[in-house]
Structure 1
Amino acid sequence: MRALPEWERISVLRAEAEYASVRKDARTAYLIWVFSGIFGGHRFYLGDTGRSIAMLFTLGGLGVWTLIDLLFIRGRVRAVNRTRRAAIMARHGIVDVPIVSERALGG
């Protein structure tokens, strides 16, 4: 594998730092869900404003959406982070290759 030129390395580091500043955390989303799930606080945190407002005015679909969200928060955080990372990398002109875990490679 070839080493990146210094200017490319700096660009990658800058993009990674930008991503780190906007990255969402599943534990934080779950904590917000515990305290304000019925009002859609976790959805506001993840940027799902439309659904957040719907949850706010219906008290989490009378609690149904709130309970369903408990099962889907981790996946939603991953999707939000993937989208944000791709947008940042594209803005910096970096082709972002998804990281493949060792488990997926059979290791």
Structure 2
Amino acid sequence: MRAEAEFASVRKEIRVAYALWCVVGLIGGHRFYLGDTGRSIAMLFTLGGLGVWWLLDVFFVARRVRAVNRTRRAAIMARHGLIDA
């Protein structure tokens, strides 16, 4: 139960990521939210790859959020000595 509570506190939301993509996507705001610092900085200095990366990200944001959540959950469960079902 403690592990699930810890995961809930660090879990990323797809709706928030898409909202950030809409508002500050050209400068990589959604990537900063997901912890992709290198790509975020690249998007910041190239204005989302002149808009190309920004437009392509609409298809990949949800998948990236799920991958980040899966990785974080596995790390938390491992730290608590639990097996992820």
Q: Percent same amino acid at aligned positions?
A: 74
Pairs within 5 Å for 1:38-57: 38-57=26-45
**2:20 is aligned with what amino acid?**
I
Q: Across the two proteins, how many residue pairs are aligned to each other?
A: 85
Q: Unmatched 5+ residue regions in structure 1?
A: 1-12, 98-107
More helix by share: 2
| Displacement of 1:73 | 0.4
User: Which residue of structure 2 aligns with residue 92 of structure 1?
Assistant: 80
1:7-30 deviation per Cα after TM superposition (whole angstroms, max 9, x unaligned): xxxxxx000000000000000000
User: Which residue of structure 1 aligns with residue 16 of structure 2?
Assistant: 28
Higher relative contact order (CA 8 A, sep 6+): 2
Paired with 2:41 and 2:70, the residues of 1 have a C-alpha distance of 24
**1:55 is aligned with what amino acid?**
M
Over alpha carbons, which structure has the higher Rg? 1
| Displacement of 1:75 | 0.3
TM-score by length of 2: 0.99
Q: Unmatched 5+ residue regions in structure 2?
A: none
Root mean square deviation, CA, Å: 0.3
